[in-house]
Structure formats: C-alpha cells, structure tokens
Structure 1
Amino acid sequence: MTARRKPSAKIAYRQQSGVTLIELILSILIISIALVGILSVINLTTSNSANPVVQHQAVAIAESYLEEILLQAYSGGSTSARADFDDVDDYNGLNDNGVHDQQGHAVAGLSQYTVSVAVSANTLSGSVTAKQISVTVNGPGVSNLTLVGYRANY
C-alpha cells in the first residue's frame, strides 16, 4: 500500500500568464475607439489645411489690383479698354470674371476668381481730397474679401 499524502492547508497556485478572451476584446475595442477619434481629427485638419492658402491667394489678387490702381494718376480722361486705363476713375465699376493683368489678359490658373472695383470720392481728416478704392475678390472658399485703399491728389 502506498502512503497517501495529507492535503496541506496551503495550495500553491500557478502564476497566470496571458490574457483572457474578454480582456483581449475590450482592449481591441478601446484602441479602435481611440483610433477613430484620432483619425477624425487628422481628416478634419487635412481637409481645412488648404483654406489659408486660398485666402492668401485672394489677398494677393486684391493687393495686385489695388497696387495697379494706386499707381495711376489721380484723374484724367475716361477710357473703356483696360490696357488704356490711365487714372484711378477708369477702374470704377471694373468687374473681371477671372483675374486679368494690367493689359487685360487673363492670368492662367485664376479663372475661378471674380474681382470688382469701386472708386468713390472721399475727404480725409476734413480737408484732404482723396478717392477711396475698394477691391472685392470672390472665389473658391473666399467670399467678399475686400481691400480698401486711398489715392490722394498730391
């Protein structure tokens, strides 16, 4: 007969190594939710990253037109052809569908913009006669961007 061993009060448990199926599924679920949130932010950021470039393009167009007008004489005769504009008043009411250069030629790649110009008489500081020039640009992602400049009679 073999001797039986008496069970001891202490039972030694083996150290667990690994994860249960439930723990694994919960971990995958939490990581998936976090990943969806991060990818949504990246997608939103990427889709709006071109907006500053488009706005800068519209400002550059408006500045170009405004500079062209401000370099002209304060007053003179009226003309109808863009290449013959020689004073500030000639630009009043100018509406370009697509950006055009000073000679009236279309600028490649900027046909989706519209530019309008308004010139009005103004008095600055109560005694200085000037003309207010408003250049408004509309285009993709830009609506009614307006730059205003003044040309004094000096």
Structure 2
Amino acid sequence: MRTFERGLSLVELIVFMVIVGVAVAGVLSVMNLTTAKSADPMVRKQAIAIAEGMLEEILLKDFSNPPGGFTGAATPANRALFDDVSDYAGYTTTGIYDLTGTPIPALSGYGVSVTVANQAVGGVPAAAAKRVTVTVTAPGGETITLSGFRMDTGS
C-alpha cells in the first residue's frame, strides 16, 4: 500500500513567495505612481479656471478706449481701472491677483501673461478684431493657453 504525502516542498514554497513578492511590488509601484500624480488634475483644472476667468474678464471690456479712459501700464495694481481690451496688452504677473491688486496667497505659484493683437478673422478686418491670448503657467511649469476674439461692434 502506497501512502501519499501532502504539502509543499521548500522549493515550491520559495518559488511561490518570489512570485507573490514580485506581484505585490508591481501593484504597490502603480499605486505609488497614481498617488503621486493625483494632485496634477487639480493643478491643471485650477490653471484652466484662472485662464477662463481672465479671458472672460477681458472679452467683456469695450473694444476701444472710451473718452477719458485708462491709458496707463498693465499692472495688477491698476487692473481695476482697465476699461478696454487693449489695456490688458502686456499684463504679466507671478502669482494671481484679484481686481483690487491684492495677491491671492493660495495661487502664488501660478502666473498669467496676456497678449492683445489686431487680427483679421473671417470677413472682419484686423482693425475691427482683436485676438486676446491668455497664458497661465502652473506651479509645475505646465502652461495653459486660451484665445478669444473681441470684435468692434461699432458702438
């Protein structure tokens, strides 16, 4: 009569432990990478929100400078005085500021740059159309660029 022994040999046990160890290490490295990158979408969304807000603010201004309008330099300190699209030309900041020129500490790692240029679009001549480009630089160096056009409505 033959008896069968049941169980694992030492070699089988070591091979099992190596395979499970490699699998766990792979899973943990993926989790580590995912956790490290989980804040990136938030930073990108914040940069997009800053760019959208600034572009909307600019495009809601008059096409041309009204009589007696602001003609100074484009700085955060005098942003509340901007009354037409061209006032934002050359506006550049390190950090984000509200309309009164007060820095927003939570957004100090972001930067904004604005260009305004006359550009023909469709059948509208360059003299009656301005292209506004807002570029936001996020803390990690990623840039978000949004552009929009402001047309002269003749008013």
Answer yes or no: same fold by TM over 0.5: yes
Counterpart contact for 1:83–1:102, Cα < 8 Å:
yes
- The runs of 4+ residues in structure 1 deviating greater than 6 Å are none
TM-score by length of 1: 0.86
Deviations 1:92-122 (A, max 9, x none): 0001110112222212300011101000011
**Counterpart in the other structure of 1:139:** 138
SS class of match (2:51): helix
1:14 maps to 2:3: yes
SS class of match (1:124): coil
**Counterpart in the other structure of 2:14:** 25
**Structure 2 counterparts to residues 3-152 of structure 1, below 5 A:** 12-76=1-65, 77=69, 78-80=71-73, 81-128=78-125, 129-152=128-151
Counterpart contact for 2:44–2:138, Cα < 8 Å:
no
Q: Percent identity?
A: 45
- Tell me the distance in 2 between the aligned counterparts of 1:143 and 1:92: 22
Gaps of 5+ in 2: none
**Counterpart in the other structure of 1:9:** none
CA RMSD of aligned residues (A): 1.4
Residue 79 of structure 1 deviates from its aligned partner by 3.0
Residue 142 of structure 1 deviates from its aligned partner by 4.2
- Tell me the distance in 2 between the aligned counterparts of 1:103 and 1:123: 33
TM-score by length of 2: 0.86
The structure where strand makes up a greater share of residues is: 1
